[in-house]
Copies of this chain bind each other. A is one copy, B any other.
Amino acid sequence: MKIGELAKAAHVEVETIRYYERIGLLPAPARSHNGYRAYAGMHLERLAFIRHCRALDIALADVARLLRFVDDPSAECGEVDALIDTQLARVRARLDSLRTLEDQLVALRSQCGAPDRAAQCGILHELEAPTLGDACVCHGERPQ
């Protein structure tokens, strides 16, 4: 399998595959006589694994850790579970933060009803006014 074929099969860009090899996430394949990379089924499996992980927004460093368990099936999987828990916590924290952000943007958006001169725009005023710890639409109940 040439790199373009693997890319198509795995729904991944060619350059991404080379990148994964470079950072040591995907094992370097054999080479054909012309120097082209020649992939086997194992590479497709591994790439699919990586793709599933990435779809779950798991960092590549963590994907590498998960792959170590794939390579060593006799190990205990406690770390795997912990990793998913951590990932879930990260996603939930980001969700909280984004929900607050949404509210803040809605509040900000309501400041300018009808477009007019910038001097009168409530949005710009809201962003301009509070220099110090004054109340503002963006710094308040926002987590962190």
Which A residues form the contact surface with B (CB < 8 A)?
A: 9, 44-45, 48-49, 51-53, 55-57, 66, 69-70, 72-78, 80-81, 84-85, 87-88, 91-92, 94-95, 98-99, 101-102, 104-106, 108-109, 112, 115-121, 123-124, 126-128, 130-132, 136-139, 142
Contact = CB atoms under 8 A, between A and B. Distances in A.
16 contacts: A48-B132, A49-B127, A51-B139, A56-B101, A56-B105, A66-B127, A69-B124, A72-B118, A76-B116, A77-B115, A80-B118, A81-B121, A84-B108, A88-B105, A92-B102, A94-B98
A18 to B, nearest CB: 20
Contacts of A84: 105, 108-109, 123
Could you say how many copies of this chain the assembly holds? 2
B131 A77 contact: no
A125 to B, nearest CB: 10
Contacts of A130: 48, 52
A105 to B, nearest CB: 4
Given A52-B127, A56-B105, A115 B45 contact: no
